[in-house]
Structure 1
């Protein structure tokens, strides 16, 4: 765009300012020029256009009415062209523009209106050329920064050489990847992450301290991060907006590069687990661990992490969160993501009890990144070296699978800490287990629903109190004879007598399976 001041400063146009208009009007952007002699050109004018006129309408409407029509269209101002029949700008036009607060310029008879058009076009061309040159130069600098491994921080440094903006790069997990001139707290990072998870992603967010513009950064068709500018979209100039969009595209290249590296690492980690499970190729296992910075000759352990719920699956970014956490703890590890869990092989030279504390902190970190989803971690015990990893690997995954199916249960457990019945239940088809539990408990539930009874609650309490009659009766606030009558009725309905061990086991398992659903 150009300004009235730019036109006036061009001596060849021979323009004179008769009415400057309100403060800043001469410096305001003008989109283009519009030549008209219509008494009311408002229907054809665009906002911020400059009206060029010789005043041929003066015999049809008063100057004040013409000015009002131009003002209504929000034009940038009026240029009055002098001619032989009217060598001076009419006083009534000058007065009307002054009263309306509309800039009025006068152009001499010797200069045609086309000269203004040519000057405006030349300004546009120069601006566009400078913009393109700047974009190419900035593009070269951005490409160089990425090719040299400067990462997201390097991209921001290039961008701020031309534009003084508060910027940050935040991924969809709410992690701050780079920043310059911007400070974002945990809550603001969470807001950005939530905005990126929308479909379509948010392009502007209220971060509590004001609006911020978001420029999505994606790779392989998905949005993985955003270039965040702590300015509202309306507060950015076209040049700033264009530069931010360009930087976001280059950040997409950086994200794609990182994802490719992570995919290779994840594949190598997955192959490592397959080698461990196969029970052979111990030399290759040791070499692969060394490649990840893990000493294969020292003590090792395995931790499997997942989100609770039978159908939870492994969310995008879980492996990255775990890797970042362990890196921050200074623990060398190999992280391998799967469809149902993320398995981590860790070098562990500390006392074994500290492993549970580390796993609990890890679970809390995962919970923070995936609010509303409960993380669990299964521990497989220690192996003296890489040749002994198979057993801890299998145990950690089995423990994790049991924890996932126990809502409200512990978040971290070692294989040895789990009850034998839970491990056995984890090996049986879940549909079969649910059918067994439902069939056994259905008669109790129908009776309780029909009679308003407490048979199921009574059986649970009896088993919870290790089949102690007096203790159970006291816990239920009933007489022992009442307890005996209830359990006798339960035996009649289910065919399972709590006085017989095998029947008691059936009832215990049915209730345990019900708690796992």
Structure 2
């Protein structure tokens, strides 16, 4: 689960005896998720909140209109309000208790003996434990999916595990929209789902699609060569759900009906693997040191152990223009496949095979790189400053030291670069583009 989605229920904190927190109101909301604890004595803290907070205050400067104060916290999606007793308030102000009860904001008291820091640490520890539990669950789920993919009917077995762990329905369609496997649904696939599958097939590069059908969030993922995985989840799809779907997608893509047991052996180990994607440009057959090769028409895909790097120029000479991904763990094979697919698109434009870990700069068109940097022609100081600043990951102090300048001078030069190139260098994508352009050309 992404850190931003981690939370613990309020009841977890209330149940910790060492904190001695007392719930004044909001018993019906003790399962409300708390994402972090935040201390504020502002009269209007709402503009500085992100939602999901346990807001802690001693009430040093509470406004007179406590109803408005509580309403603003509710609008900011604060999970609960914690009032520290003493030295300001010996007990909860009645107007505050009434407002919290009226607007459904859980209100709790923090005794004088419990520092706010202890509450914050307790929230952090609970979040860390939640993250560890999530990782343990994901590891177990991956193992269950992998074992399912090694059974006699891998597609049906994988969907059965998927439906169980995500409380969802799942359908696998082939290229003609025939149902290959299905769990949790009965009957024909309706037109809306078929349209979703069509959108996925007609896309190019990394692709997926989603829609809402009633209260169900439906996602569609491609499973090569033309199969599509449809999954209906009765809630908003989370980062954890997406991680599970990525594993299922990789397994289904590699565990076809004819070679399910063989293809999934690679997924039973703990090693790292590369994905090779290729396009036929001649009459020859590919010579690859792996049994996990799939050729569909003029397209090739193979999975190879990290250390089994094929001779890409030799493959090209035999009639296959190829692109090789970085090594990936089993859980992210789908990402490796997308990486190789993206690289293959660029390889087809250049006509040269490439490895993601070796030939990225070689894929850059020098003419395009030169055009991007043309506004800096005749301004070598700006080029040198930009290059050094990017090398130091935008750190002003380290850049200034490397160039022997004051950091304000560095800031001024970078501002000139932004103006000349008409870019915002706070954008990571722009930084990467400029770094690649600088790398593709000789030092200026």
Query: Scaled by the length of structure 1, what TM-score is found?
Result: 0.45
Q: In the TM superposition, what is the alpha-carbon distance from 1:192 to its structure 2 partner?
A: 4.2
Q: What is the rounded CA distance, in whole Å, between the counterparts of 2:127 and 2:23 in structure 1?
A: 22
Q: What is the rounded CA distance, in whole Å, between the counterparts of 1:206 and 1:70 in structure 2?
A: 30
Q: How does 1:49-448 map to 2 (within 5 A)?
A: 49-58=53-62, 61-188=64-191, 190-199=194-203, 201=207, 203-205=209-211, 211-219=216-224, 224-231=226-233, 234=236, 236=237, 239-255=240-256
Q: In the TM superposition, what is the alpha-carbon distance from 1:214 to its structure 2 partner?
A: 1.9
Would the aligned equivalents of 2:166 and 2:233 in 1 still touch at CA under 8 Å? no
Q: In the TM superposition, what is the alpha-carbon distance from 1:70 to its structure 2 partner?
A: 1.7
Q: In the TM superposition, what is the alpha-carbon distance from 1:257 to its structure 2 partner?
A: 8.0
Is residue 39 of structure 2 the alignment partner of residue 38 of structure 1?
Answer: no
Aligned-residue Cα RMSD (Å) equals 3.4
Select the structure with the greater relative contact order (CA < 8 A; seq sep ≥ 6): 2
Would the aligned equivalents of 1:196 and 1:225 in 2 still touch at CA under 8 Å? no
Q: In the TM superposition, what is the alpha-carbon distance from 1:242 to its structure 2 partner?
A: 3.5
Partner deviation per Cα, 1:231-267 (whole Å, 9 max, x = no partner): 3562x45544442333223223225986999xxxxxx
Q: What is the rounded CA distance, in whole Å, between the counterparts of 1:87 and 1:316 in structure 2?
A: 78
Q: What is the rounded CA distance, in whole Å, between the counterparts of 2:257 and 2:123 in structure 1?
A: 42
Q: In the TM superposition, what is the alpha-carbon distance from 1:36 to its structure 2 partner?
A: 0.4
Would the aligned equivalents of 1:196 and 1:226 in 2 still touch at CA under 8 Å? yes
Q: What is the rounded CA distance, in whole Å, between the counterparts of 2:125 and 2:14 in structure 1?
A: 15
Would the aligned equivalents of 1:214 and 1:226 in 2 still touch at CA under 8 Å? no
Q: 1:202 to 1:15 in 2, by over 3 A?
A: same
1:124 aligns to what SS in structure 2? Answer: helix
Unaligned runs of 5+ in 2: 1-6, 264-282, 285-295, 299-444
Alignment partner for residue 47 of structure 1, among 51, 76, 92? 51
Q: In the TM superposition, what is the alpha-carbon distance from 1:183 to its structure 2 partner?
A: 2.2
Partner deviation per Cα, 1:106-129 (whole Å, 9 max, x = no partner): 111111112222222222222211
Q: What is the rounded CA distance, in whole Å, between the counterparts of 1:105 and 1:206 in structure 2?
A: 38
Q: 1:17 to 1:129 in 2, by over 3 A?
A: same
Q: In the TM superposition, what is the alpha-carbon distance from 1:136 to its structure 2 partner?
A: 1.6
Q: What is the rounded CA distance, in whole Å, between the counterparts of 2:94 and 2:61 in structure 1?
A: 15
Partner of 2:425: none
Q: What is the rounded CA distance, in whole Å, between the counterparts of 2:128 and 2:58 in structure 1?
A: 27
Q: 1:186 to 1:168 in 2, by over 3 A?
A: closer
Partner of 1:12: 18
Q: 1:256 to 1:80 in 2, by over 3 A?
A: farther
1:11 aligns to what SS in structure 2? Answer: coil
How many residues of Structure 1 are paired with residues of Structure 2 in the alignment? Answer: 259
Would the aligned equivalents of 2:82 and 2:109 in 1 still touch at CA under 8 Å? yes
Q: 1:210 to 1:33 in 2, by over 3 A?
A: closer
More helix by share: 1
2:247 aligns to what SS in structure 1? Answer: helix
Unaligned runs of 5+ in 1: 262-269, 272-314, 318-517
1:57 aligns to what SS in structure 2? Answer: coil
Would the aligned equivalents of 2:151 and 2:157 in 1 still touch at CA under 8 Å? no
Q: 1:83 to 1:257 in 2, by over 3 A?
A: farther
More divergent stretch after superposition (162-171 vs 74-83): 162-171
2:48 aligns to what SS in structure 1? Answer: coil
Q: What is the rounded CA distance, in whole Å, between the counterparts of 2:233 and 2:146 in structure 1?
A: 26
Q: What is the rounded CA distance, in whole Å, between the counterparts of 1:121 and 1:115 in structure 2?
A: 10
Q: What is the rounded CA distance, in whole Å, between the counterparts of 1:193 and 1:69 in structure 2?
A: 43
Q: In the TM superposition, what is the alpha-carbon distance from 1:52 to its structure 2 partner?
A: 0.7
